[in-house]
Amino acid sequence: MAHEYPNPILYQNEDETITLIDVPQSICSAQVKTGSQCTHVLFSTPPLQAPYPSIEPRSEKAKLKAEQRLPSEDVRHQPFPHELLAQGLAEIRAERHRSFCYQRSFRPSDPHSSVKSRQGDRSPKAPEDYFGEPELLVSALYGSSSRKRAHGFLGPFRVPSSALSDRYGFPHGTNLTHTVITNPFAQQVHLHVADSGAQYTVPPLSTFLLSKVGHQEATYFSEAASKIFPEPSTSAAPGQFDLIILDPPWENRSVRRSRKYQTRRNVKEDPLSVLQSMLGKHIAPGALVACWITNKANVRATALETFQMWGVSLIEEWVWLKTTVHGEPICVLDGIMRRPYETLLVGKSVDAAVEDFQVPDSVNEVKRRVIVGVPDLHSRKPCLKALFEPMMQDASNYRALEIFARHLTAEWWSWGDEVLKYNWDGHWTEPAELDSGASDA
C-alpha cells in the first residue's frame, strides 16, 4: 500500500482562528516545495499520554509564597485569555474524536519509550545525544575567536548542479559555517562532511547561514541578502523579506535546567540587540514579522519595543497550546510554576504605501489564534509555513526568513547557530504507514 504524506493541519475552523497541527509533520512538509510530498519521516519522541505531574503549590499559603518570589509584573500578567484556550480545545474535541497527533516514528532504543524518568514516562524530552547527532554548533566547531577570524566570511555559495546526482562534499564542519549557502534547485540536495561523516539534506530553493547572530555576522548577512536579491520583487526591495520569524533565546527556568543552548544572558553579544539595529532594513513594506516569546511580562515588553524599533505594529497574537494525545493540556492553564503554552506575536510593517492596513487601536483589537499540538523533542516548535503562507500577498512568490532556526525550510532563508540541527540525516527515517487516528508507534 502506498504511503500517504498527510497534511500537518489535522483540524482548522472556517475563520482559521483554531488549528490542530502535528509538530513533526509540520517540519516534514516544510522540507519540500508547497504542494509536494516529503519522502522521509522525522524521528520523534513518544507523545504524551497524560499531563505532567503537577508542580503547583497545593495550599493558598504555598501559592502566596510562590507568587512572592515572582516579579510583581509576572503575577499580574496573564499572557493569553484562558477562556479562548478552553474554547479552542472544546471545539477541536467536538470535531475530532481521534488522537491529537499522527503516529510517530522513534527509535526502538529510545530510553524514554520504556524507562521512566523522575516525572514518569510522560515526558517527551530526550537527551540531546540520544540520536548520536554530530556537533555542529558554531562555538564547538571553532573553539576560539582566532580560528573564526582565520576562517572569515565567504560566499554566498550556490550548491553546484553536480549535487543533483551525488552528494556535495565539504572537508570539515567549519566549511558550512559563516557562509550563506543556497540550494538553487527545485529539489533537495545532500551535503556531506568528510571529517565527521555526517550528511545533511538541504530543501529545494532554500538558503542558510550557519552562524551566531552577532554584529560581524549581521553585516555579512546584509551583504549576502543584497547579492542574492539584487532586484526588487513585487512587494520587497533588494535584500528585503515579506515574512520574518524569530525564536530568540530568551532566558527561562526550563532552558536553565536543560542547558541545551545559550541564552541572551550568557553570550558576549546580545543577538536581539544586534537584530534591533540591523533587521529593520530587511523588512519589506507590509511584511509580517513574528516573534516567539515566553510567558514573562518583561519578555513581551522587550519584543514589542523591538517591533516598534522596526516600524512594526502588533496585529495578531497566536498561542501554541501543548496537549496530550487525548487533547488535555499538559498542565493547568493558570499555573504559577508552569503554563502549557507559548506565544507568538505577529506584527505588520507599517508603511503609508501599503493599502487597506489599519493599526489596531488597542490590544483588545489584536486578532487571536489558538494552535493546538502535542509537543515533541525539547524546543522543537511546529513549523508554521502552512499557516503563514496563505497570509502572503502572493503565496507563490514571497521571501521568508527564519532567525534562530533549528531546521531548514523549502524556499525560505534560515539563520542561526543550530540551523542544520534537524536536517542531519540521522534525524530521519524511511516512511511507514501513518494512521491519523494513532497516537503511538
Per-residue pLDDT at 68 = 66
Q: In what order do the strands lie in the sheet with 413-416?
A: 9-12, 18-21, 367-373, 312-322, 341-349, 283-293, 241-246, 400-403, 413-416, 207-210, 179-182, 154-158
pTM of the model: 0.87
Per-residue pLDDT at 154 = 72
136 within 8 A of 128, measured Cβ to Cβ: no
For the record, the C-alpha cell of 420 comes out as: 542544520
Identify the helix (H) or strand (E) that includes residue 388.
Answer: helix 385-388
Q: How far from the centroid of its chain's Cα atoms is residue 210's Cα? A: 15
414 within 8 A of 119, measured Cβ to Cβ: no
Rounded Cα–Cα distance for residues 353 and 360 (Å): 18
Bridge pairing between strands 9-12 and 207-210: unpaired
Written as tens digits, the pLDDT of the chain (441 aa) is: 344 568 999 999 999 999 999 999 999 999 999 989 888 999 999 999 999 998 777 777 777 776 667 666 554 556 688 999 999 999 999 999 899 999 999 876 654 444 333 333 444 445 444 557 777 655 545 443 334 434 467 779 999 999 998 899 999 988 999 999 999 999 999 999 998 899 999 999 999 999 999 999 999 999 999 999 999 999 999 999 999 999 999 976 544 444 454 544 555 679 999 999 999 999 999 999 999 999 888 999 999 999 999 999 999 999 999 999 999 999 998 877 788 999 999 999 986 444 454 555 555 689 999 999 999 998 899 999 999 999 999 999 999 999 999 999 999 999 999 999 999 999 999 876 444 444 443
155 within 8 A of 170, measured Cβ to Cβ: no
Burial 63-73 (b: 16+ CB within 10 A, else e): eeeeeeeeeee
Rounded Cα–Cα distance for residues 403 and 291 (Å): 10
- DSSP letters spanning 167-180: PEEESSGGGGBSEE
Residue tagged 532566558 (cell numbers): 251
Radius of gyration of the chain (CA): 21
For the record, the C-alpha cell of 47 comes out as: 507523545
Helix (H, G, I), strand (E, B) or coil at 98: coil
- Measured between its terminal Cα atoms, the distance across the chain in Å is 18
Each residue of 316-360: pLDDT tens digit?
999 999 999 999 999 998 877 788 999 999 999 986 444 454 555
